Structure 1
Amino acid sequence: IVSTKSGGTVETISFMKYFYNSVLNKLGKQKVTRHFAAITDPGSGLEQMAKDLKFRKIFLNDPNIGGRFSALSLFGIVPASLVGVDIEKLFIRADSEALLSKKSGYEIERNNAALFGILLGMLTEQKKDKLTLIISEKIRPFGAWIEQLVAESTGKNNKGILPVDLEEIMNPEYYGDDRVFVHLKLKGDSKNQTKIEKLIEAGFPLIEFELEDIYDLGKQFFLWEFATSIAGWYMGIQPFDQPNVEQAKVIARKILKDYQESGKLILPEPTYSSDEFNIYSVEKFEKAEEVLSSFLSECVSGKSYVSIQAYINPAPDSFALLQNFRAEVLKKYKVATTLGFGPRFLHSTGQLHKGDSGNGLFIQIVDNPEEDAAIPDNPLENNSSVSFGILIKAQAFGDRQALIDNKRKVITVEVKRNIKEFLKNLQI
């Protein structure tokens, strides 16, 4: 299944070309088309490509539904049905929440989505804009969807709500007063209850939703989409656009074009270089050990946040090492932390990084993998002018420049070899 909105993302189309070409080489032209389907908007480039390649099925979605608001549209429902989700049951739950969203007047207390949205807007107005998610283990991946919805919808016009997903739950003394917690728990799950009670006792605002079972996610999809729209209205911003997302894409395309013309990546000069890594920063350093501690010394508890942007293979062991580093940052500086693997977050939290009030500090970690894969220029042929490694590096440095252009604080570490060893030694 290849899924993309009308604009599309270069990595989605690149992966489609790569996998189509791979299957083509294995199965031949007669069988390959049976293995591909597309979900997209009418008139998109993907629709035309799917027609040209004779995909098995093309699902055309309502183009008026924005990408991050499309969980209950064909973009979310087709894949869900293919993995065995009871779609009718999911829609019945969603519909029950949609009916409540129409309540007003003396029945407004039943309109959970509107009240939640207003509450998020009011808390943000009070500088409590670090929306920290605590989610039951079984539904924990739901946090990644919330992250994109909230960040891309609210991060603009120098305002924003930062969703904090998968951060280790700490004792209250490690949190600044910019935090608001949302606890999404499945009925009967009391795993985090003791920690939750400590947060409440310490005076942190905490909002809790209890789900009867996983099909209550149907309610949650609608509730969060509606509430995010309301929060945007309260904050005085347009929740349905993403003006800064294209900015990084433009720069990345320029880097790629230069590479295709010259055969080499044209990158800025590093401020520090060794056999192990290059560092790109505003200031020059004599010792690599000083770089991160100096950079993070600008953190202000209750205001700043640290975003770790890893352009590496998101393997479980690498994720665990980065989570450990993230916990160290939280404990030492008492600031909210986020962790994203590139290029995914470019289309999720990337809008907020450049459009919010500018309190983020960004640490980019860029790998030079030993193994790479060529992206076919045409899915029917084996010719290639760029690889995935080149594409991702272009996106990393394109986003770096977009952050700098928006006056954000960013430091980039380009690891030349042995990324896991680097991550093991990563400390502040």
Structure 2
Amino acid sequence: MTGDETGVEIVDAELAGKAAPLVERLVADQAATKLAANDATLWGPDAESEASIRLSWTSLHKSSRPLIGEIEALRTELRGEGVDRVVLAGMGGSSLAPEVIAGTSEVALTVLDTTDPGQVADALAGDLERTVLVVSSKSGGTLETDSHRRIFAKAFADAGIDAARRIVVVTDPGSPFAELSEKEGYRKTFLADPHVGGRYSALTAFGLVPAGLAGADIARLLDQAAAVAGVLGSDSADNPAIKLAAAWAAAHEGGAEKVVLADTGSGIKGFPDWAEQLIAESTGKLGTGLLPVAVEGPDAPGFADAKSDATPVAIGDAEGAAKIAVTGPLGAQFLLWEFATALAGRLLGINPFDQPDVEAAKKAARALLDDPEKLKGGETASNVDGAVEIFGSEGVVTEGKLADVLRAFFASAPEHGYIAVQAYLDRLDDASTALLRGEVAKRTGLQTTFGWGPRFLHSTGQYHKGGHQNGNFLQVTGAVAEDLEVPDRPYTLGQLQHAQALGDGQVLAEHGRPVLRLHLTDRAAGLAELVRAVQEVGA
């Protein structure tokens, strides 16, 4: 295969042999054609109600065509007014897909899927005279995006700019956000297909509007999806979605519940981050599922040295330790992975369209925001080492030097477990934090994921609570130098960020999972000390 062709190659002969009976089962069940025909019975009676309103993504390559002209018309209008900087406020599927589309198309899109005050302040510091804010939310009630909208509306007004003319909304028809948009007189409201869930929404208005306004060729994206739609909806052993779903499920049956994703020169920017949400939220429930592990490349720890609990998957041509290789242009890949994930749900016996455990962390965060005293320094660290305050859930060792604490924490992970590094920091200014993933994986020999908070709460967060319960969770939080008020709300961005970290940690602990939180009282110094401590663990 080449990167221009869309296909799935099961490189590992043993895995191919184990997948063959599952391929035959899906073909015999006519699963692909039923999926393409929006048959909601594929996942059993318990899932039928939800599935019946979540399957329109299978034909978005056709139904999203009218968006092309609408988006281009608005882009032309904005450019005529000197507005050519696009900022996106969105979480989960509302931000991950447009970021991949824009990155792959090499067009500039500023993505705000954070509550870090520093990162939001950086976005505000851009040229507001040239800025349009796209706010994407199915309901409008997402705390992060609502906060971004309020902050930018005030910033526009303070700069003497008509905020309503600079805000574009993407939402579901009849949503509270659609009503608010009409009331506030926002520039334009794009209504997405309500019968598509967030993680399957790449080819809806949620994926296409921000990227299209930034200059991406969305017509080409839809053409790429249309080119493979027929084969993906066919009951054939050569259907790449059937092959991929069967390989994942066969590996899972053999104890490989982790899917390690590495780009091998596909030309697609950031695809593993998008696939993370799709796979984790769709399959991670009822104590089972596939944990996606996005790594830096085919030579990265976790991919090159994958053990029996993980399946290395190349996004691009097969390379290194890859057991599966998936190729194709971006639009085709979106549809292929969505079909494969839905079919894998059938084989795993789960509903791939619900996310029963996502709301728990949101509720915990809101409860903390309602009790602001807990967010004003009322916590007492169990231990302090330099610029790092150490907190642990029940049973987590917190005594000793930071390296000793980390060594004990990593050692407590179960065999074939995983470490989740969760950084509630600035994804740009604190970007080096992501290096922790490879360092931890190399020194522990455990599959290790990395997520920026609260971004991952709308992605892998579902798996953490609903999937295989064998994870240890390392949270990294940091002191806020300059906070940002959220207009007409009783909390700041920094308080919201802190509440999200504590809330998620609380829910994980309630699930019996070990949580170690390291708070950097000085971000730069604390991060340097943390990296040194991780390196000492494997010394």
Summarize the Cα distance change of 1:267–1:162 in structure 2 as closer, same or farther, 3 Å threshold.
Answer: farther
Alignment of 1:177-256 (within 5 A): 177-185=308-316, 196-197=319-320, 199=321, 206-211=323-328, 216-256=329-369
**Is it true that 1:116 corresponds to 2:116 in the alignment?**
no
> Which of residues 387, 394, 399 is equivalent to 1:285?
399
1:264 Cα deviation from its structure 2 partner: 4.9
| Equivalent pairs, count | 393
**Is it true that 1:23 corresponds to 2:156 in the alignment?**
yes
Summarize the Cα distance change of 1:137–1:423 in structure 2 as closer, same or farther, 3 Å threshold.
Answer: farther
**Is it true that 1:404 corresponds to 2:509 in the alignment?**
yes
How many Å separate the matches in 2 of 1:414 and 1:240? 35
Summarize the Cα distance change of 1:144–1:322 in structure 2 as closer, same or farther, 3 Å threshold.
Answer: closer
Partner of 1:10: 143
1:74 Cα deviation from its structure 2 partner: 1.0
| Per-residue Cα deviation, 1:49-73 (whole angstroms, up to 9, x for no partner) | 2122110111111211000000011
Partner of 1:189: none
| Per-residue Cα deviation, 1:197-231 (whole angstroms, up to 9, x for no partner) | 4x26xxxxx111233xxxx2111000111111111
Contact 2:385–2:401 (8 Å) recurs in 1: no
The one-letter amino acid of 1:389's match is G
Partner of 1:381: none
**Is it true that 1:45 corresponds to 2:176 in the alignment?**
yes
State the secondary structure of the residue aligned to 1:18: helix
How many Å separate the matches in 2 of 1:7 and 1:34? 18
Which consecutive residues of structure 1, in runs of 5 or more, have no partner in the other structure? 187-192, 201-205, 378-383
Alignment of 1:82-231 (within 5 A): 82-104=213-235, 108-135=236-263, 136=265, 138-167=267-296, 169-170=299-300, 174-185=305-316, 196-197=319-320, 199=321, 206-211=323-328, 216-231=329-344
1:23 Cα deviation from its structure 2 partner: 0.6
Contact 1:103–1:110 (8 Å) recurs in 2: no
Partner of 1:423: 527
1:173 Cα deviation from its structure 2 partner: 7.2
How many Å separate the matches in 1 of 2:356 and 2:471? 18
Partner of 1:414: 519
1:174 Cα deviation from its structure 2 partner: 3.5
1:267 Cα deviation from its structure 2 partner: 5.8
Root-mean-square deviation (Å): 2.1
Greater shift in the superposed pair: 345-354 or 174-183: 174-183
**Is it true that 1:257 corresponds to 2:362 in the alignment?**
no
> Which of residues 407, 423, 427 is equivalent to 1:310?
423
Partner of 1:203: none
1:368 Cα deviation from its structure 2 partner: 1.2
State the secondary structure of the residue aligned to 1:64: coil
> Which of residues 184, 201, 205 is equivalent to 1:70?
201
Partner of 1:319: 431
Summarize the Cα distance change of 1:54–1:158 in structure 2 as closer, same or farther, 3 Å threshold.
Answer: same
The one-letter amino acid of 1:279's match is I
How many Å separate the matches in 1 of 2:280 and 2:180? 31
Contact 2:375–2:495 (8 Å) recurs in 1: no
Partner of 1:36: 167
The one-letter amino acid of 2:254's match is Q
How many Å separate the matches in 2 of 1:34 and 1:321? 37
1:362 Cα deviation from its structure 2 partner: 0.6
1:86 Cα deviation from its structure 2 partner: 2.3
Contact 2:212–2:218 (8 Å) recurs in 1: yes
Summarize the Cα distance change of 1:71–1:232 in structure 2 as closer, same or farther, 3 Å threshold.
Answer: same
Partner of 1:331: 442
Alignment of 1:369-384 (within 5 A): 369-377=480-488, 384=489
Contact 1:174–1:330 (8 Å) recurs in 2: no
Identity of aligned residues (%): 36
How many Å separate the matches in 2 of 1:386 and 1:300? 38
Contact 2:276–2:292 (8 Å) recurs in 1: yes
How many Å separate the matches in 2 of 1:293 and 1:15? 39
How many Å separate the matches in 2 of 1:117 and 1:247? 29
**Is it true that 1:366 corresponds to 2:470 in the alignment?**
no
TM-score normalised by structure 2 residue count: 0.69
Summarize the Cα distance change of 1:138–1:102 in structure 2 as closer, same or farther, 3 Å threshold.
Answer: closer
How many Å separate the matches in 1 of 2:272 and 2:423? 18
TM-score normalised by structure 1 residue count: 0.86
How many Å separate the matches in 1 of 2:398 and 2:244? 46
How many Å separate the matches in 1 of 2:138 and 2:414? 38
The one-letter amino acid of 1:405's match is E
The one-letter amino acid of 1:207's match is I
The one-letter amino acid of 2:268's match is I
Which consecutive residues of structure 2, in runs of 5 or more, have no partner in the other structure? 1-133
How many Å separate the matches in 2 of 1:266 and 1:242? 33
Contact 2:140–2:177 (8 Å) recurs in 1: no
1:47 Cα deviation from its structure 2 partner: 1.5
1:8 Cα deviation from its structure 2 partner: 3.8
Greater shift in the superposed pair: 397-406 or 279-288: 279-288
Partner of 2:412: 298
Partner of 2:33: none
Contact 2:256–2:308 (8 Å) recurs in 1: yes
| Per-residue Cα deviation, 1:275-296 (whole angstroms, up to 9, x for no partner) | 7332111334144332111100
State the secondary structure of the residue aligned to 2:490: strand
How many Å separate the matches in 2 of 1:306 and 1:264? 26
The one-letter amino acid of 2:282's match is S
Greater shift in the superposed pair: 53-62 or 114-123: 114-123
How many Å separate the matches in 2 of 1:176 and 1:13? 42
| Per-residue Cα deviation, 1:88-137 (whole angstroms, up to 9, x for no partner) | 22212101221112211xxx123211221122122112111221111127
The one-letter amino acid of 1:127's match is G
Contact 1:272–1:278 (8 Å) recurs in 2: yes
The one-letter amino acid of 2:274's match is W
